[in-house]
């Protein structure tokens, strides 16, 4: 039971940090690559696709902020909403892509997933060191 409680605390902390990225965009966080720019380069998006992707990411961020505020006390609900939002965002982007771009997007999503897992691992390690 203790590990479930610890996991829930880690998830809650993760959401607070992820949602706070927009607020903490100064310094090194500001240097993080913009996902739309990454996709433009890696998928060779045309100007129309690029604008649509930027709009999709903007709406996704708004939705995440709304979900964060609504679910602050319930990490499991927040995690569920986060995953749903992420899946919805990816499907919208995929609908804009041609077949070659979709194949490349699969690899990019895997890279992003690995990066997120690494961030979560580092956060858990820091959290465990503090306790």
Question: In the prediction, which pLDDT does 12 show?
Answer: 59
Q: In which domain, by residue range, is 104 found?
A: 2-130
* pLDDT, greater one: 101 or 19: 101
Question: In the prediction, which pLDDT does 23 show?
Answer: 45
Number of folded domains that form the chain: 1
Question: In the prediction, which pLDDT does 57 show?
Answer: 93
CA–CA separation, 131 vs 122, rounded Å? 14
12-34 tens-digit pLDDT: 565 566 555 444 444 434 445 68
Contact by Cβ (8 Å): 88, 28: no
36-89 tens-digit pLDDT: 999 999 999 999 999 999 999 999 999 888 887 877 767 788 888 888 999 999
DSSP 98: -
Length of the chain: 131
């Amino acid at each position: 039971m203790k590990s479930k409680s610890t996991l829930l605390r880690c998830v809650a902390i993760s959401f607070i940090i992820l949602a706070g990225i927009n607020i903490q965009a100064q310094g090194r966080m500001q240097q993080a690559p913009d996902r739309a720019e990454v996709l433009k380069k890696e998928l060779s998006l045309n100007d129309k696709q690029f604008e649509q992707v930027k709009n999709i990411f903007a709406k996704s961020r708004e939705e995440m902020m709304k979900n964060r505020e609504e679910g602050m006390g319930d990490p499991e609900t927040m995690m569920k909403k986060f995953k749903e939002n992420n899946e919805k965002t990816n499907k919208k982007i995929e609908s804009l892509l041609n077949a070659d771009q979709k194949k490349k997007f699969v690899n990019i999503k895997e890279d992003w997933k690995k990066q997120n897992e690494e961030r979560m691992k580092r956060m858990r390690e820091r959290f465990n060191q503090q306790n």
